[in-house]
Amino acid sequence: MKKKLLAGIMCAVMALGVAGCGGSDSGSDEGGSTKAVNLKMAVTPSETSVWMVAATEFKKLIEERTEGRYTVTIYGNEQLAAGDQTKGVEMLFNGTTDVDLHSSMIISNVVPELSVISMPWIFPNGYDSVDEYIFNEGSTGSDFIKKAMEAKGAHVVGIGENGFRQITNNKRPITSAADMSMLKVRVPAISLLVDVYKTLGADPTQMPFGEVFTALQQGAIDGQENPYDTIRSAKIQEVQKYMTIWNYCYDPIILSVSGNIWNKLSDEDKAIFDQAGKEACATQVAASRDLDASIIEEFKSVGVEVNELSPEAIEEMKGVVAPIYEDYRTDFGDEAFAAFGYTFE
């Protein structure tokens, strides 16, 4: 039953309006009736990504509950920013885009304190820890995210899930810290992750994600790290031999409305937007988690060797990267770490 429901959701994702053109339009037509306000929504991945569950559900709910006074045009593949994810985030804060769905990791290029979410193994009990500090009602982590975004001028209407980031490569299975030695791994342009991989003995390489498939295929890099669905939607499994499940870094996605739009909404419409964002993201989180097991099996079916890092090996790696917490303590502050359950002794 769950698989049928998920299949239905993903079919709806493909069917609903993911657009290549459009724009904001408001005012009155010649007959005096008010035109719909069209909101431009920026989304990083393509329509095949589970991210689109949140985007299309939000679009549907907004258009239904405002009775068409607001419409949403979805631009996938980072179209509005010509593929530049950081620029895409900046466009939210300067009001060029109206609604935005980006990962906290990319947003941290503009809102640095959100990097604390990406600290290695800050969520020691997997999704149980994530739910406790991000998704449960009144959680300290979600409050931290919302306040950080609001300080920059955007309003968070929901938090979704990109998932835990796993590592793939063409050299060897990773079973201990020693196996990371000199692996040339593509990482996002985030200084924290560069530091993590250097500390583990790897050779972190930064490049646009759109170039990763070809770089792996040609052997320019050995591996990359991403959540399951990002790996799947980019077909990375076709050019990688090994995947290690280690849940080292969690990546939420943040559904936000620009201050330019939010400040013009009535209180009634603000309530509609908040509720629509909350429901859309809850649907997306459920869909994302339902996909995890099937994606792992899909990878295995095409010949990827999948192993799960042992608890002992994780503890070893946590010990190796422990100094990074002290290094970033001054940057983020104890309060930021505590919001996600980490306290310094």
Does some domain include residue 344?
Answer: no
pLDDT level of residue 3 (50, 70, 90 thresholds): very low
pLDDT of residue 33: 58
- 3-class DSSP state for residue 124? coil
Going through 211-267 in order, the beta strands assigned E by DSSP cover 223-227, 242-258
Q: Which pLDDT does position 46 carry in this prediction? A: 84
How many folded domains does the chain comprise?
A: 1
* Structural domain harbouring 289: 2-332
Quick: pLDDT tens for 38-74. 999 999 988 889 999 999 999 999 999 999 999 999 9
- The secondary structure element, H or E, covering residue 75 is strand 70-75
Amino acid at 227: P
Compare 190 and 170 and report the one with higher pLDDT. Answer: 170
Q: Where does residue 153 fall: left (phi above 0), alpha (psi -120 to 50 degrees), or beta otherwise? A: left
Rounded average pLDDT over 94-115:
95
Please tell me the distance from the alpha carbon of residue 300 to that of residue 25, in angstroms, as a whole number. Answer: 47
What is the rounded CA–CA span in Å between residue 85 and residue 260? 20
The bridge status of strand 242-258 relative to strand 99-103 is: antiparallel
| SS3 call for 293 | helix
Cα 250 to Cα 28: distance, rounded to the nearest angstrom: 45
Give residue 108's pLDDT: 95
Tell me whether residue 340 is in a domain.
no
pTM above 0.85, yes or no: yes
> Where is pLDDT greater, at 149 or 28?
149
Q: Is residue 338 part of a domain?
A: no
* Residue 214 within any structural domain of the chain: yes
Question: Does residue 188 register a pLDDT over 50?
Answer: yes
Beta bridge partners of 40: 73
Whichever domain contains 93, its CATH number is 3.40.190.170
Mean pLDDT of the chain: 91
What would the mean pLDDT of 333-341 be, rounded to a whole number? 96
In a domain, 23, yes or no: yes
C-alpha span between 204 and 185 (Å, rounded): 5
pLDDT in tens, 245-271: 999 999 999 999 999 999 999 999 999
Residue 183 lies in a domain: yes
- Which one, of 120, 206, 212, lies nearest residue 170 by Cα? 212
> Residue 162: which pLDDT band, with cuts at 50, 70 and 90?
very high
Domain-embedded: residue 127: yes
Among the ranges given (11-15, 177-181, 223-227, 256-260), the one the predictor scored with the smallest mean pLDDT? 11-15
Residue 62 lies in a domain: yes
pLDDT, tens digit, 9 for 90 and up, residues 200-244: 999 999 988 889 999 999 999 999 999 999 999 899 999 999 999
The predicted structure's pLDDT at residue 329: 95
